[in-house]
Every structure is written in C-alpha cells, then in structure tokens.
A and B are shown apart, each in its own frame.
Chain A
Amino acid sequence: DIQMTQSPSSLSASEGDRVTITCQASRDISIYLNWYQQKPMKAPKLLIYDASNLKTGVPSRFSGNRSGTNFTLTISSLQPEDVATYYCQQYDNLPYTFGQGTKLEIQ
C-alpha cells in the first residue's frame, strides 16, 4: 500500500497567516492527490483534486502544489472558518489511502 505522511500533525496560527501543510507519498503517485477539509462533527469536503485543481466554490486562498512525491496545501491568509482537520488522499493505486490528518487551530 502507498503510505501518505502528513506534517505537521497539528498547527496553530494567527488569522491572516500563511499556512502550509505537507503530504509525502511513499512512492510516485503522479498528480493523483486530493485534499479534504473536515470541520468538527462534520463530513469531509473536497478542496483540491489532482494536486492543484481547486474545486469550484472553494475560496481562492486555498492552493495545492506538487514537487515529486511531496505535495503541499497552502492557505494564503488564514480565516477563522478554516479551523478544521485537513487530509490528503492518493488514488494512484488501490487501496486508496489517506494521510493521518493535520489539525489546524487559530491562536
């Protein structure tokens, strides 16, 4: 199975900060990497698919990038409503696998 390693596992930042979450795949997965946001007690929601494509309706402060087997999710200016846990997920190979999650809080 492909292992997805997310870092950090938790993060605290101030409103307006630029925040970056990283996800590393255990082997090449091309661009087949998605990002989800899960707010407390809610179902996950798709933010970005294929490494860098923003889902329609998702604020433009979210962006995704790929460099080899390393992927990043960046929030350009953190807003209070961005408090959530973020997950990466690969679909290059079955079984689909998720990172362990990054819990983002506001200071």
Chain B
Amino acid sequence: DAGITQSPRHKVTETGTPVTLRCHQTENHRYMYWYRQDPGHGLRLIHYSYGVKDTDKGEVSDGYSVSRSKTEDFLLTLESATSSQTSVYFCAIRDRATSSGTGELFFGEGSRLTVL
C-alpha cells in the first residue's frame, strides 16, 4: 500500500463547471503524477510534480491545471469541464529509486469523472 488516496472517487458534473480532484499521499514522496485513462489510449500524462510548487506539463495538459502547496497533496483542476474530459483519472507517486535506479510508479484507485 503506497498510501495514496484520491477524492472524489466518482463525480458527475455539467459542461462548463470547475472540477477539482485531490490526490493525497502519506509517505512523503517527492514525485506525484496525474494521468487520464481512456479506451484505446492507455494512460496519458496530464501533469506531474517534483516537489512543493514545482510542476510540469505532460502530453495532454490543455484544459487542466495543477497545484501542490504541500508535499502530501496534489490537486488537479479542470477550470471549465468539457465532455472530452470524461475519463478515469489516476494519481501516482514515484517510489524512491530501487537499487536498480528505476523508481516505479504506484497508482491510486482512480477517480471516475463524467461531464454531461
């Protein structure tokens, strides 16, 4: 258990409304990630963070913003939700590098967002 909690787990909202998803971790990991998963596209990186207030864009960042004011929380915000943002969102943390130096990702349980 990597100590990752996502909230909310399920949300239905309407087009044009703001939405914030929260990822909370309890083990002081430096790196945190937000991915979205859609049929046929696998997992695509939205944004990631490498420390408090240090974030960077992934491959599908348009329409999303993130914030990390504390080590344990990484927030993903959809400023004005669109139907194309209907997806399952996964938060992940990067474990401390193993002896091989790989540092694999561990995922939260996911947040299913439906934008009507």
Please indicate whether A and B come from the same complex rather than being unrelated chains. Answer: no
Could you list which residues of chain B lie within 8 angstroms of chain A, going by C-beta atoms?
none
